[in-house]
Amino acid sequence: MAKENDLKHTVLIADAGYETAAADLAAQFPDLDLCYADEASDPKALATDDVAGLIAQTATVDAALLAALPGLRAVLKLGRSYFNIDVDAVKARGLTFGCVPRKGPNCVAELAMTLILALSKDIIISNEAVSLGAYRYRGLKPELTAERKIAFHWMHNMRVHEVVGKTLGIIGMGEIGCELARRASVMGMRNLYYKRSPLSAELESVFDASYAELDELLADSDYVCVATPHTPETEGMIGAAQIARMKESAYIVNIARGGIIDEEAMIEALAENRIAGAGLDVFTYEPLPADSPLCSLDNVILCPHIGGGTGTNRNIELGAALTEMSRLLLAG
């Protein structure tokens, strides 16, 4: 009889931080024998001839690591942006390569796209106008509709427009930015992005996005979405000078952290119509103080930090990766 381990495929999880999740999930994947890096051991130290699958989120997967894994059959990126994977080396070995989207970035990108679409349809004012019966102030009265008899655009919202053909500028092109670019591209938008280290030409093609310096991005974009981490370097990076570079017709969307934008400078620009509007899920202080001027502006959509959706954790994201890895190895 074959030994139990002979029926399993050894999978190496290259990033530290997944130890608890891997232990929790092991029983759900009886066909996989999981080994994983931690703070005390890097992936190369765990490399053996038995490793058939490699999962990496941000850990570097280069030719040296691949050479230490002679039995490797499949490489899986946890997240779609495979900036840390030497794809040429993977292809040269003839290995199966795939990506599994992470739930967290997907959730946030969904909200960013929702805010963009809501702003394009002036959705808050549109809803209030209908629910409050504001047509009466325009001297209108309800009439029976038919196929060719309607009260088209009865409130004449001046901010309503289409996003097709508009330019989206994404500040911070990590997993969230990449997921947002995919969605915006489907909607017919042009994507620009800014980050410290530009993506490879291959990834720019995958996400249909072009690199631009920050000043250029701000000047050219119809929508500017902040999707960068909040660090000492990004604290207040979008201030009065940066906002002044934006078009009067442009909108700002923040689904990252409130402190990245100078909130007072943004409020002033919004109140004076020096930018068209904003969609905000994050603020300098949370919950947003009830007396914040943002609460009284009619060109702003406010959310109570819901970008994470139904929530996620390492178990959920690693579980999705292990499910896909199991499929790849069984298929091979």
The catalytic site residues sit at 257, 286, 305
Contact 28, 3 (CB under 8 A): no
Q: Which two tokens stand for residue 262?
A: 């100078």
By CB atoms closer than 10 A (0-12, 13-18, 19+), residue 158 is exposed
d(CA 128, CA 130): 5
Cα Rg, the chain, nearest whole Å: 24
| In contact, 77 and 99? CB cutoff 8 Å | yes
Which string of b and e fits 69-96 if b means at least 16 CB within 10 Å? beebbbbbbbbbbbbbbbeebbeebebb
Whether the CB-CB separation of 66 and 89 falls below 8 Å is answered with yes
DSSP 85-107: B-HHHHHHTT-EEEEE--HHHHH
Report the C-alpha gap between 310 and 312 in whole angstroms: 7
Question: Measured between alpha carbons, how far is 9 from 52 in angstroms, rounded to an integer?
Answer: 6
Task: Please give the Cα distance from 329 to 327 (Å, whole number).
Answer: 6
- Residues 6 or more apart whose CB falls under 8 angstroms from that of 326 comprise 9, 29, 31, 32
Place of tokens 């495929």: 9
Compute the C-alpha angle 78/83/88, nearest 5°.
100
Distance from C-alpha of 151 to C-alpha of 144, rounded to nearest angstrom: 10
C-alpha to C-alpha distance for 271 and 58, rounded to whole angstroms: 41
